Amino acid sequence: MSDPEKTSLWQGFKAFLMRGNVVDLAVAVVIGAAFTNIVNSVVKGVINPLVGAFGTQNLDSYTSCLKGPCEGTGDAATGVRILWGSVLGATLQFLITAAVVYFLMVLPMAKYLARVEARRKAKEGAHEIVEVTELEVLKDIRDALLAQRAQGEGSGPGADGGSGRTGDGGR
C-alpha cells in the first residue's frame, strides 16, 4: 500500500472513531458493564434474601422435574429439570435494571429536556410579542403618515387660510 492510501485509511478510521455516535456507544457499554455489577449485587444482596424469607435464598434452586427420576444436583443430576428459578432471577434482574435506568436516568433527563424546551419556547414567545408590538407601532406610524398625506392632498395648499408659507404671504 502506498503512503497516501495509508494516510487516507488512517484519516477515515480516525473520522469514524471521532463520530459522536461511536464515542457515545462506547461510553454506554462501559457504563452498562459497571452498572451490571451494581444490579447483580442488589439482586444477590437484597432481592434474593427477601425471596429467601419465603423459600430459599438461591433462586437457581427452584426447579421442576419434567421427567424423573430427578435426583442429585449439578452435573450429577438425573432426569429432565426445568430451571424456572434461574429464569425468575434473570427476570427480576432485568426489571430492576430497567426500573433503575428509567427512574434514575431517563425520567430526570426527560424532565430536564422538557424544562429547557419550555424556557426556549418562553423566550421565543416573548420575542414574538416584542416583534408584534414593534410591528403594531410601525403600522400606527404608517397609518398616521398616510392620514397626514391624505389630509394634506385633500385640502390642497393654503387650505388653512395661508399659502403654506410663513411670513408676508409670498410678497
Kindly report the pTM of this predicted structure.
0.47
Mean pLDDT by 10 residues, the chain (171 residues): 73 78 81 81 77 72 76 68 82 80 85 92 76 80 92 63 46 40
Burial of 89 (0-12, 13-18, 19+ CB in 10 A): buried
pLDDT of residue 76: 65
pLDDT of residue 112: 93
Counting every residue written for the chain, the total comes to 171
Burial of 101 (0-12, 13-18, 19+ CB in 10 A): middle
pLDDT of residue 7: 75
Nearest to 132 by CA among 162, 140, 36: 140
- Using alpha carbons, list the distances in angstroms from residue 117 to 56, 110, 112: 50, 10, 9
pLDDT of residue 56: 67
